[in-house]
Chains A and B, each alone.
Chain A
Amino acid sequence: MKLRPDSEFPADLKLRADFPLLVNNPDLHYLDSAATSQKPRVVLDALRDFYETANANPHRGAYALSVRATECYHQARVRIAEFLGVVDSDCLIFTRGTTEGLNLVASAWGMANVASGDEIVVTAMDHHANFVPWQVLAMRRGAKFRVCELTPDGKIDLDFLAGLLNERTKIVAFSHVSNALGTINPIAEIARLVREKTGAILVCDGAQSAPHFPVSFDSLGVDFYAFSGHKMLGPMGIGGLIGKREMLEAMSPYQTGGDMIEFVHDDRTTWNVLPHKFEAGTPNAANAVGLAAAVEYLDNIGMDRVRSHERALMSAAQKRLEAIDGLRIYGPPASERSGVLSFTLGDVHPHDLATILDGEGVCIRAGHHCAQPLMRRLDVPATARASFYVYNDESDIEALVAGILKAREIFGYAPV
């Protein structure tokens, strides 16, 4: 990815006014976008507009309104596919989010293709959503579940990974960006290694990459990519799984029911074509339309600009936090991270820190970030995490720093 220097972008895109929740809470400093993002007005309007002008069950009615609902849903898919660099938009399956997308692959591809004695590889930084489904699959199929270790600064240890790979490896699952540390993983290098040494499929958890920098599935070099709409300014309950057509076509359905069938005989059923084969039941059409509005909004900012803005905020925040005595930041250098800052402060437990920051109007996450295997390796029970997005600016960093200093004071540390 080519980037213009950070200095070309102000650390404030001046977008706060687009986000009703932030407008309604002018003193709120929302630094938990890695958990979920706030929603711009255009997304809320798109949801309302769908229900006010196009609501009917897609694919089912022989009347104009249902046709309109079907068309809105279809156009949303095309728009989101375009945003993520997918030319063949039928290869984008709508799901509830990343978790469902990954479970879909584990179940529909995994149960059919993984046999006893095969191996599945994940990494120690993966979110539970990209860890547990593979662990369970391995147990069900009698396969070996192998965890790739990390370097001390929280990156995938590529040498270790190379050592894990062999001809029995059937699946390699990894996250594009770590939600707990912000590490941006070298996806091309990982793909090259895996292709060289195995015939395994590559599954990429894109929950933390799709929202934050340009992603083009067709050039990622992976077989599956899952993402969540709610982390990229869209509504909760919608996301997607992108897969290669030949793989999706070869797979059996994940769930069965309405919409996903071609013909139901008394004794057997044939499946509908992509993407419907994997979308049983009434789809979440309104939220798909909302997510399409979100990617439109992101495209209008420009994903390069989103990334540069976050980099500018990150380097500013990193500088300020590093200067605080007793504060420890986890993960690789700021330049190799997305907009995530994971840290601890002396013997102040992250929960207590989060409560004190809440008192200053600053929302951060404290805990294991659904990454307990990672926390064990960092040898901390929890960290505090501040994460940035398009609506954040330097005043959020000021408030964060002030809150941390307050916590130091309450816990009796000497003033800095």
Chain B
Amino acid sequence: MAQPRSAAEIGALYQELILDHYRRPRNKGTLEKADASAEVKNPLCGDEIGLQVAFDGDCVCDLKFSGRGCAISQASASMMTQLVKGKKTEEIDAIWKQFRDLMIGAESDADEAQLGPLRALSGVARFPARVKCALLAWNALESALALRSV
């Protein structure tokens, strides 16, 4: 059977920064004028995230998220919006790839610092059942960016 989790692993999962983003989410709400939006659900648990994005040329100039869910999904959404706001879509693609690697525990030679607050989610990789929660907001962002590029 799967190993029981150690207290250290649980502690690494629920760091203060994550609980802070869970309880005081950044960029939560709706945009007055959005260029693209997406909604994703995790049918297994009912978590849902809506995302609205505004672009300025190649750049995500503003974005907000809505929805509800567990600490991991909400903190991940909050941190993601904080990190990608003001970035070019190709920079965002690179961060997304790196974050996905972090979640599946894959080696990456990219600079970790580029993940900013998202590094606090590294503990999630040890909990395969929760990786989906951490990726939910990113799936919404990916859909919104895809809408934009068609």
A residues apposed to B, CB below 8 Å:
24-25, 27-28, 347-352, 355-356, 358-361, 366-368, 372, 375, 381-382, 410-412
Tell whether, in the assembled complex, residue A382 and residue B14 are in contact, meaning their CB atoms are under 8 Å apart.
no
Knowing A25-B1, A367-B45, A410-B11, say if A355 contacts B127 (CB, 8 Å). Answer: yes
Tell whether, in the assembled complex, residue B11 and residue A367 are in contact, meaning their CB atoms are under 8 Å apart.
no
Can you sample 22 A-B contacts with CB below 8 Å?
A24-B1, A28-B1, A349-B71, A351-B45, A351-B70, A351-B72, A352-B71, A355-B127, A355-B129, A355-B130, A358-B5, A359-B4, A359-B5, A360-B4, A361-B4, A366-B45, A368-B45, A368-B46, A410-B10, A410-B11, A410-B14, A412-B19
- Measured CB to CB, the nearest residue on chain A to B7 is A359
A228 to chain B, nearest CB (A): 20
Tell whether, in the assembled complex, residue A349 and residue B46 are in contact, meaning their CB atoms are under 8 Å apart.
no
> CA A24 – CA B1 in complex, angstroms?
9
Contacts of B68 in A (CB 8 A): 381
Contacts of A381 in B (CB 8 A): 46-47, 68-69
Tell whether, in the assembled complex, residue B46 and residue A382 are in contact, meaning their CB atoms are under 8 Å apart.
yes
Number of CB contacts from chain A to chain B under 8 A: 59
Contacts of A356 in B (CB 8 A): 10, 14
B43 to chain A, nearest CB (A): 9
- B106 an interface residue at 8 Å Cβ cutoff? no
B residues apposed to A, CB below 8 Å:
1, 4-7, 9-11, 13-14, 19, 23, 44-47, 68-72, 127, 129-130, 133
> CA A24 – CA B133 in complex, angstroms?
31
- Measured CB to CB, the nearest residue on chain B to A25 is B1
Most buried by A among B4, B6, B47, B127: B4
> CA A28 – CA B11 in complex, angstroms?
20
Knowing A367-B46, A410-B14, say if A349 contacts B7 (CB, 8 Å). Answer: no
Contacts of A375 in B (CB 8 A): 46
Contacts of B47 in A (CB 8 A): 351, 381
Knowing A349-B69, A361-B4, say if A355 contacts B44 (CB, 8 Å). Answer: no
- Measured CB to CB, the nearest residue on chain B to A412 is B19
Contacts of A372 in B (CB 8 A): 46
- Measured CB to CB, the nearest residue on chain A to B13 is A355
Tell whether, in the assembled complex, residue B46 and residue A347 are in contact, meaning their CB atoms are under 8 Å apart.
no
> CA A352 – CA B13 in complex, angstroms?
10
**Ordered nearest first, which 4 A-B pairs have the shortest CB separation?**
A359-B5, A349-B70, A351-B70, A359-B10
The one of A25, A352, A368 that contacts B70, using a Cβ cutoff of 8 Å = A352
The one of B19, B45, B129 that contacts A411, using a Cβ cutoff of 8 Å = B19
B13 to chain A, nearest CB (A): 7
Contacts of A350 in B (CB 8 A): 70
> CA A366 – CA B70 in complex, angstroms?
11
Most buried by B among A24, A359, A360: A359
A116 to chain B, nearest CB (A): 31
